Amino acid sequence: MTDSKPAADKPAVRHPPSMMRGTIDDPKLSAALRTLELTVSRKLDGILHGDHLGLIPGPGSEPGESRIYQPGDDVRRMDWAVTARTTHPHVRQMIADRELETWLVVDMSASLDFGTSTCEKRDLAVAAAAAICYLNVGGGNRLGALISNGANTIRVPARSGREHVQTLLRTIATTPKAPVGVRGDLAEAIDALRRPERRRGMAVIISDFLGPINWMRPLRAIAARHEVLAIEVLDPRDVELPDIGDVVLQDAESGAVREFTIDAQLQTDFSRAAAAHRADVARTIRGCGAPVMTLRTDRDWIADIVRFVSHRRRGAMAGRR
């Protein structure tokens, strides 16, 4: 007989609630979103102690007037042009942006309607969006979203406030499934973020990035103006196949069906191909100047976010030394 209770020294793994593809006014959906809000506000914000370095940027700044250097000023703000012209050290004053505008590009193509663990990748994408929104709401910060399922793109205008965040997350959670045979178009969704031109802010790309890597150009254009974060949502079956013998597999986006016999060689080939694709995705995103955070349906998404932020924080602190 085995004990099904978790070990006392191991914290319970937190998984995002199922969105159940409810309608926008479904009470079950409201309850699921409320659970997400409580999870983020109580667990994530508490763990990070309000310091979201590496996930959410602090208030931005724009260069303002120059003034004479005073002891204690940050030497990284030295205005060398004015210093050379006047022969007196000057620093550039910074004008704080009191509001941050963040846009989410959320991939809701058919490949995200899949999950073999405790939730679907779609649920995890909503959870990732909720983390960004609830950590960033307040202070007049504005949040907007572009949600693409391949067949169409839904635009949620950037606004502030918790009521707007609820509307935004409901819209993501209730995005209809694309018709069979319609592939996602992440490149088009990212490119749509460029129109109209926006003030400098943050862009968060949420996807499983399983399709062709044809989005480098629009991502690079966005990263040239905005701080960008890529959130990769995966299921274990995206990276490895189980040893289950004969199986029928269907491409979630094209609808194509094929029969396979999963043996050791196929498992090895699949794992290598999946690893190579993920490496290409990460290399392309980082080449555009953006970090990548990976969340999986079989892992604690809160713990993974904290781990990512801690790693970014250590890197930022090391860079200041």
Residue 284: pLDDT band (50, 70, 90) is very high
Residue 140: predicted pLDDT = 85
Does residue 1 lie in a domain region? no
Pair 17, 32: CB distance under 8 Å: yes
Per the structure, the complete domain to which residue 238 belongs is given by 98-316
- Regarding whether 182 and 149 lie in a shared domain, the answer is yes
- Regarding whether 197 and 177 lie in a shared domain, the answer is yes
- Regarding whether 102 and 86 lie in a shared domain, the answer is no
Lowest mean pLDDT among 47-51, 70-74, 102-106: 47-51
Instruction: Report phi then psi at 94, rounded to 5.
Output: -110, 135
- Regarding whether 104 and 151 lie in a shared domain, the answer is yes
- Regarding whether 165 and 92 lie in a shared domain, the answer is no
Does residue 321 lie in a domain region? no
Give the model confidence (pLDDT) of 76-133 as tens digits.
778 888 888 889 998 877 544 457 899 999 999 999 998 988 889 999 999 999 999 9
Q: What is the mean pLDDT of residues 257-279?
A: 93
CATH code assigned at 138 = 3.40.50.410
Residue found by looking up tokens 């006047």 in the block? 86
Give the model confidence (pLDDT) of 5-18 as tens digits.
444 455 555 666 55
Does residue 46 lie in a domain region? no
The answer to whether residue 311 scores a pLDDT higher than 60 is yes
Q: Residue 300 to residues 44, 296, 305: CA-CA distances in angstroms?
A: 12, 8, 9
- Regarding whether 73 and 214 lie in a shared domain, the answer is no
